[in-house]
Amino acid sequence: MKETMPHPNIGTILAVRGSVVDIRFDERLPSINTLLRVGQDGNIAIEVWAQLDAHSVRGIALTPTQGLSRGMPVVDTGGPLLAPVGKAILSRMFDVFGRIIDRGVPLSDVTLRSVHNLPPPLVEQSTESEIFETGIKVIDVLVPLERGGKAGLFGGAGVGKTVLLTEMIHNMVGYHNGVSIFCGIGERCREGEELHREMKEAGVLPNMVMVFGQMNEPPGSRFRVGDVAVTMAEYFRDEEHRDVLLLVDNVFRFIQAGSEVSGLMGQMPSRMGYQPTMSTELAGLEERIANTANGAITSIQAVYVPADDFTDPAAVHIFGHLSASIVLSRERASEGLFPAIDPLQSNSKMATPGIIGERHYLLAQKIRQTLAQYAELKDIIAMLGLEQLSQDDRNIVARARRLERFLTQPFFTTEQFSNVPGKAVSLKDALDGCERILNDEFKDVPESALYMIGSIDEVHTEKPDVKPTPKPEQDKQYAVAHAS
């Protein structure tokens, strides 16, 4: 899939410093973002990032630079990095150059499109707000996602971001007749192979495209892989008129790659060592993810939060682009409450009566209020015990603990580890269950009966013998709760 020109513009390498390459062109100076090829069969790709003077440019290599030396000839391809688009890319896995990395048959009947595109004009963007149902109770009830919006999954390492993303891919087939595009930025190669195998076994691969820029690849490659995935998503939205679910894991690695490139280019770092152009680069990617009359690109992005610090500049800049923020809690994960979503820190701009309806809005507010009151009572319970609370406060604790367990859910993507069949729950069933718990219908039912179930109707059926691990200060609550 090599780019060619009728009369190639040949340059000469002046210097090589890691991934930074300076090249001289006597005939014609390539423009910014032009792709250059060098080496045997043009196997080393360099993207122009700066024009140093009238005859030389500075580029960032998108491939390893072993074997480059001064004086080597460089071919100007005359155009930018290109991504393959078309129906044939479905069920395939690509790298940043659009090359197949799934050991499948070569592609046919695809067209190449520049990865540098502008966002759709404001007049073409849709202003209607619609809910994007995921089949995951805690998200649909408390953090409703927007069709054509951007949602962030915030959390530190090991709290379940990737598992939640893969579950949404699985549920996309059941709830929406759309295309899923998974973009792995700075992913481990093991994760890519496992995801491809799992999606194939789950039968969702025919409506899915995977693009990976792995951890071991140069920063220039990791920085551009997001543009490749968005270009493919734009094709399905604009040409095929289909809804697209774009999953990015992890958008922090995009900022990290940009920071590495910025450092290599010699730019002065900004706050906490990030690149000075971070907000512009992030906006250039995020603004292309939009809802138009043709279709919608709904994006769910995992965001690694360095040291669980939500005031980190990267996390703060990403927050500004999102219509929903799903915060994963390490404390809830340690209690066995999966998905480990913190309902009090997570929020959505869609959670208004005009969009989700009066009943859903009031119910969500009541759930948050109950959980917030429980959080305030935890210190008293830890010091004095549950029996020292008033009867009203004890009722609040009982409702909150049952709500917490009802909002857990077994995932299809974790069946092989937990031996518990996965469940997808409709918004109606999730709301009905929460309402009945708040009305104390299940006050005489053990908390464990609500743990890891689908709809509330399953409470009276046999449960898997799994319980969340209580924290030490909660032992007394468990003893009181299960005394009956």
Q: Which two tokens stand for residue 470?
A: 């209580």
- pLDDT value at residue 5: 47
Instruction: Identify residue 363 by its one-letter amino acid code.
Output: L
**Confidence band for 60, pLDDT divided at 50, 70 and 90:** very high
Instruction: Provide, rounded to the nearest whole percent, the portion of the chain with pLDDT above 90.
Output: 68
Catalytic-labelled residue, pool 188, 349, 366, 467 = 188
Strands 347-348 and 324-327: antiparallel
> Rg for the chain (alpha carbons), in Å?
25
Catalytic-labelled residue, pool 161, 222, 253, 402 = 161
- pLDDT value at residue 471: 52
**Confidence band for 271, pLDDT divided at 50, 70 and 90:** confident
Q: For residue 80, is the peptide bond before it cis, meaning its omega torsion is within 30 degrees of 0? A: no
Q: What is the mean pLDDT of residues 53-72?
A: 95
Query: How distant is the alpha carbon of residue 98 from its chain centre?
Result: 21
pLDDT surpasses 50 at 483: no
Which of 34-48, 182-196, 422-436 comes out lowest in average pLDDT? 182-196
Catalytic-labelled residue, pool 187, 234, 260, 404 = 187
- pLDDT value at residue 482: 45
- C-alpha 19/C-alpha 138 separation (Å) is 44
Concerning whether 198 is annotated as a catalytic residue, the answer is no
Q: How many CB atoms lie within 10 A of CB 417?
A: 9
Select from 369, 396, 368 the least CA-distant residue to 380. Answer: 396
- Write out the DSSP string of 194-216: HHHHHHHHHT-GGGEEEEEEETT
- C-alpha 351/C-alpha 145 separation (Å) is 9
Which of 19-23, 38-42, 437-441 comes out lowest in average pLDDT? 38-42
Q: Which of 202-211, 300-309, 392-401 has the highest mean pLDDT?
A: 392-401
Concerning whether 147 is annotated as a catalytic residue, the answer is no
- pLDDT value at residue 417: 83
Which of 2-16, 261-275, 286-300 comes out lowest in average pLDDT? 2-16
310's CB contacts (< 8 A; 6+ apart) are 154, 316, 327
The tens digit of pLDDT for each residue in 1-27 reads: 445 445 789 999 999 999 999 999 999
189's CB contacts (< 8 A; 6+ apart) are 212, 214, 215, 216
Concerning whether 467 is annotated as a catalytic residue, the answer is no
Q: What is the mean pLDDT of the chain?
A: 89
Which of the 8 DSSP states describes residue 7?
S
CA atoms within 13 A on the CB side of 216: 4
Which of the 8 DSSP states describes residue 483?
-
The tens digit of pLDDT for each residue in 132-171 reads: 889 999 999 999 999 889 999 888 878 888 788 888 888 8
Strand, helix or coil for residue 306: helix
Instruction: Identify residue 302 by its one-letter amino acid code.
Output: A
Angle between helices 358-384 and 391-406 (to 10 degrees): 120
pLDDT surpasses 50 at 479: no
pLDDT surpasses 60 at 465: no
The tens digit of pLDDT for each residue in 332-373 reads: 999 999 999 999 999 999 999 999 999 999 999 999 999 999
Q: How many CB atoms lie within 10 A of CB 102?
A: 15
The tens digit of pLDDT for each residue in 171-188 reads: 876 666 788 999 999 988
- C-alpha 326/C-alpha 268 separation (Å) is 33
- C-alpha 246/C-alpha 185 separation (Å) is 13
